[in-house]
Structure formats: C-alpha cells, structure tokens
C-alpha cells in the first residue's frame, strides 16, 4: 500500500457517512441509494491498482454501521469490485456506458444478496413487494448518481495517478 492509497480512508468514510445519514433519507418508494457501491464501481473502472483495498475498506466501514451480518457486505463489495475490474479490463473505450452497465449489474447483485441474507436469517419478505418497492427504485437511484460519481472518481484518479492517464 502506498501513500496514494490512503486517500481511500477519508473518501470512503465520507461516503459511508453520507449513505447512512443523507442517503437513507433520499428515497424513491422504499428504495435508497447505495453511494458506496457506486463509488466502488467508479473507482474499479479507473486504471488504478488499489481498487481491492477500496472494496475491503468500504465493506468493513459499512459493515460496522449496518444491521446486516458482518461478512455479507464485505463479500458483496469485493464482488462489486470484481465485476468492475473485469469490465474495466475488457471494455475501456466507453467508460460512461460501462459505468451504467456495471452499476446496473452490481446493484442487482447486491440487492439480491441482501434479500437472500435477510431471508436466510429468517426474516419473511415478500419477493414481489421487495422487487417493486425496494430493488427497482434503488437501482434507478444508483443509476441516477452514476455519471457524477464516475466523473468525480475519474478526476480523483487522474489527480492521484497522472502517469496512468497520459496517452
């Protein structure tokens, strides 16, 4: 880990604080935005090497303040980074389109994972209601913030790692 990777701590801490405070109040039906997921996707699509550190730190930070069982969020956000890095290595010529696609895919994966974890804990949830009232609106909110988040993460990556972005 180099000194540039340390920027992850305040960025992710701020993201978790915003997600827990403001993000939980910005609702569409019963769905809410997953700012941390969108930040991790945006960072994972950059041409930088410390994406895995961001996923682990973000997953740990959100796990500390979430009611979800400990390893579930950590594993889900590592999975988010895995998907983002896979796409980043294969489809780098359309970054904004890929941002939307990866945000869409990983939002569904994390929401389905959350649903599964809650059901396995014995919490009875109606699938159709969860899908219509929580999952679809949450994905739409994530897609709504995808472009500005990608632009911010791209600027941060260019500032921290200028050599990787020179053509």
Locus of tokens 């915003």: 18
H helix or E strand, kind and range, residue 28: strand 27-28
User: Burial code of 3-27, b = ≥16 C-beta within 10 A, e = fewer?
Assistant: eeeeebeebbeebbebbeeebeeee
pLDDT for 49: 82
Reading phi first (left if > 0) and then psi (alpha if -120 to 50, else beta), residue 123 is in beta
- Mean pLDDT, rounded, for 113-122: 94
Q: Region 135-156: what's the mean pLDDT?
A: 96
Q: Are 145 and 38 in contact (CB under 8 A)?
A: yes
The number of distinct structural domains making up the chain is 1
> Residue 13 is inside which H or E element, if any?
helix 8-18
Residue 167: predicted pLDDT = 47
* Residue 110, pLDDT score: 96
Residue 94 reports pLDDT greater than 90: no
Q: Once rounded to an integer, what is the mean pLDDT over residues 50-63?
A: 94
Q: For residues 123-139, give the mean pLDDT.
A: 94
Q: What is the pLDDT of residue 166?
A: 52
Mean of pLDDT values over 101-118: 96
Across the chain, mean pLDDT equals 91
CATH number for position 18: 1.10.1760
Question: Helix, strand, or coil here: 31?
Answer: strand
Range of the domain at 64: 3-165
pTM passes above 0.75: yes
167 vs 152, which has greater pLDDT? Answer: 152
Residue 17, CB half-sphere, CA atoms under 13 Å: how many? Answer: 6
Label each residue of 118-155 as H, E or C. HHHCCCCCCHHHHHHHHHHHHHHHHHHCHHHHHHHHHH
Q: pLDDT tens for residues 21-46?
A: 987 778 888 899 999 999 999 999 99
Q: Is the pLDDT of residue 1 over 80?
A: no
Over residues 69-93, mean pLDDT: 90
Please determine, for residue 165, whether its predicted confidence score (pLDDT) is greater than 70.
no
């Amino acid at each position: 880990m180099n000194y540039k990777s340390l920027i992850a701590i305040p960025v992710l801490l701020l993201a978790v604080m915003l997600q827990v405070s403001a993000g939980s109040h910005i609702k569409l039906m019963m769905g809410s935005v997953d700012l941390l997921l969108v930040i991790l996707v945006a960072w994972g699509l950059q041409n930088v090497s410390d994406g895995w550190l961001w996923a682990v730190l973000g997953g740990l930070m959100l796990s500390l303040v979430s009611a979800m069982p400990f390893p579930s969020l950590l594993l889900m956000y590592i999975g988010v980074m895995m998907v983002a890095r896979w796409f980043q290595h294969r489809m780098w010529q359309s970054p904004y389109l890929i941002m939307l696609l990866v945000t869409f895919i990983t939002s569904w994966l994390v929401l389905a994972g959350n649903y599964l974890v809650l059901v396995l804990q014995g919490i009875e949830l109606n699938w159709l209601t969860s899908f219509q009232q929580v999952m679809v609106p949450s994905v739409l909110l994530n897609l709504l913030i995808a472009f500005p988040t990608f632009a911010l993460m791209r600027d941060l990556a260019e500032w921290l790692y200028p050599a990787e972005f020179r053509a």
